Every structure is written in structure tokens, then in C-alpha cells.
Amino acid sequence: MKYFLFSLISIIPHVGWSQVKSLSYEFEDGEKYSSQIRTKESYIASMKIMRPKANQSPTALAKVNPHLPNLLKDFTKLIETSEVSSRYKELYDRKISLIKRGSYSTQHNFCDCETVLRLKHPETGRIALWVQADMDVVTDGSDPGRSPKIEDYDLARSSNWFLPGTSYSWARASTDPANPFLEYYPGAIKELQAFRETVVEKQKSDSGVIWREILDTVDSQIYRMKSRGMGSGTRKDLSARRFLEATKDPFVVLPVPWVNKSAAWSPQIGDYAAVIYKDKVFPAILGDSGPSDKVGEASLKIARGINPEANGRNRAVSDVTVSYIFFPRTASPRSAPDYALWRTKVGELLEDIGGMYHPEKLHSWE
């Protein structure tokens, strides 16, 4: 029987994403449906998915970013003695599972990770998790102690996915201003509900598609407001906690299943991290956890340090040229961000895995 063939990716599974230039699609003509018996077999769709091999070669990684051997003194030693983390297979298992369920990934989101490696320095014993990926932008977080007005979050809320909280938080003092989202969400819902009544009245005299779709949009936005800011747990946290701000603070994100687990190489929220792009090294912390089927996410602060055009709708780096080095079990007690301390800690941890040829390449945040 003739069938439609959809080939998600037509590469051999022995190369990493850094060598993939595009995805290809193949189609084969079938017979007219009217000439076929309407059986399950009449609607065959075949999908071919090739899982890329995790990059574990110093030479290959140096092709992804030629600066790496000149930044990290023991780069070759670290990669040659590394192990591919089980997180890499788990990540692509989840991606493929979503596709099987009908959630078709974009090329960018499917091809976002080149490798995940467990590092252990042979002399110091310091362990680290190396993730080679792209960089999407996170704009989440709110801190009334630094940004007390809703207008302070205009840039952050340019993202359709903004949330007022992050996993990393610390106690709010009684003298700190109240979080502006505690008033914003109820106020926005009240306005939407009033507008909804207007739409419902209009729909009574006009049954056209316009008002039906406007009503659907209003309902979806009311649901969004309630889910993002009106839950009892969320409101409790917004009242009692302060959070990182992606527009101000350098932090990175990992998938939820990777974080706060008991495994030795599992990073914890607050652990220190080094983000490497070209010949620059940016100190950061693991500040949040995100979707289970994607990696390569950093706060807008880091993203704009790499690409000034990055914002809530424009990613910082589209290819897999960003190296994220996480140092498990290194978090300091949670408190307001201290960029000088973070830089010092990351510098010390990089020394534990061999050090940098040029320590001045470690960025200083303002």
C-alpha cells in the first residue's frame, strides 16, 4: 500500500548535532482515499528518527568551540576521562516519546543538546556535569526588594512564558515591599471577567466566529492568570519569599528530572556553574528547573552578555556552541545575589578541574 513517509531526520546516528545543518523531509504519494477501504491500514504514517551520538571527543568539542582548549588547562584530560551521562539518553527518550504522542518538536528544540558528560578531575577528585547545548532565554522571577513596581517587569513579561517565581529564593523581610504580582493577577482577572461579560452580551446578538473566538481567548487568559499567580502555594511564596530576577541575575536552568536528585552528578538548586561561550566564561548558579524535554536555558542577564539582541522572544544562541559546567553539591546558603562571591566560587571550582589559562576571561557581573 502506498503511504505518506515523514522523515524527521535523515542522518546517521554517529554524529552530533553540531554537524547537522538541517532536517529533511521525504514524501511519497498515495492512492486517493476514496478508492481505498477506510481501515486503520489506510492511514499509515511512517516516521524515522535517528538519535545522535553524544559527543565525547576533545577534538570534536573543540570544533564546536575552538576556544575551549585555550581556556581550560585540562580540557583534553577532562573530556578524555569523562563518561556520557545517562541524562543524555533520558533527554532524547523524552523528546521521542513526545513525538510518538503527536507533539512534533521543532528542529531547534529537538537538536538542542550535543552531549552531557560526567567529569571527574583525576588529581583533585572534583566532579562536574558538562552540558553542551544552545541557549534559550528565561525571563522568570520577581524580587520586590529590588523591583517593587509592576512596570519593573515590562521587559521580563515580553516573554509569553514569564512566571514570577524561581526555584532559588530566600526569605522576604517584613520591611520589604510587597510583591506587585500579588495585586496584579487578581486585578487583571477582574478586568478580564468584566470584559468577558461584554463579549457574552455581544455574542447574543451576533453568533459569528469573531465573538466566539474572542470569548475563547478571554477564557484562556483568565485561566493563564489563575494558573500563574492565583494558586494558594504561589501566593504564599510571593508573600513570603524573594526570587531571582532573570533580567538582573546570572542563572541557568536544567530539566526538572535532572535537579535535586541523590545521584552524585545531579546538580542542586543554588549550585555554581560556569557558562562558556567562545572565549568568555560567565559565572552563574543553577537558579531554576524547567521542561523535561529541553536543555540550554539561561537568564536574560547571561543571554544579553552573549547576545545583546536576546530578549523574551529571541534566543541568545541557536546552535550547540554553549558549554555549561555544573558543580554538584557546591551551593552556598541561599540569600540575595552576591555576584562577587559567585565569581570567586566559580573561579575556585574551575581551579579544581585544572584552572584557566587566562583567569581574566572569567566575567565580572555588575
Residues 227 and 298 placed together within one structural domain of the fold? no
Please indicate, yes or no, whether residues 365 and 248 belong to a single structural domain of this protein.
yes
4-20: per-residue pLDDT in tens? Answer: 333 444 333 445 656 55
Shared-domain flag, residues 188 and 227: yes
Share of the chain above pLDDT 70, in %: 86
Tally Cβ neighbours within 10 Å of residue 284: 28
pLDDT of residue 150: 97
Q: What is the pLDDT of residue 10?
A: 39
Tell me which of 61-65, 223-227, 300-304 is least confident. Answer: 223-227
Largest Cα–Cα distance of the chain, in whole Å? Answer: 78
Please report the sign of the dihedral spanned by the C-alpha atoms of residue 272, residue 273, residue 274, residue 277: negative
- The whole-number pLDDT of residue 1 equals 30
Closest CA to 328 of 126, 132, 131, 86: 126
Tell me whether residue 62 is in a domain. Answer: yes
Q: Give residue 48's pLDDT.
A: 65
Question: Per-residue pLDDT averaged across 216-227, rounded?
Answer: 92
Query: What residues have CB less than 8 Å from 83, skipping those under 6 apart?
Result: 117, 118
The DSSP bridge partners found for residue 137 are: 298
Q: Same structural domain for residues 340 and 366?
A: yes
pLDDT at residue 45 in the model: 55
pTM of structure? 0.87
The domain of 140 spans 54-148+244-366
Domain match, 124 and 251 both: yes
CA distance linking residue 312 with residue 249, whole number of Å: 15
The residue length of the chain stands at 366
Looking at residue 124, its pLDDT comes to 96
Report the sign of the C-alpha dihedral through residues 96, 97, 98, 99, in that order.
positive
Asked if residue 274 and residue 222 are part of one domain, the reply reads no
pLDDT tens by residue, 13-40: 445 656 554 544 444 555 554 555 555 5
Instruction: Please check whether residues 350 and 264 belong to one and the same domain.
Output: yes
**Per-residue confidence at 185, pLDDT binned at 50, 70, 90?**
very high
Mean pLDDT value of segment 70-94: 96
Domain count, the chain: 3
The answer on 344 and 287 residing in a single domain is yes
33 and 61 together in one domain: no
Lowest mean pLDDT among 19-33, 58-72, 149-163, 284-298: 19-33
DSSP 270: T
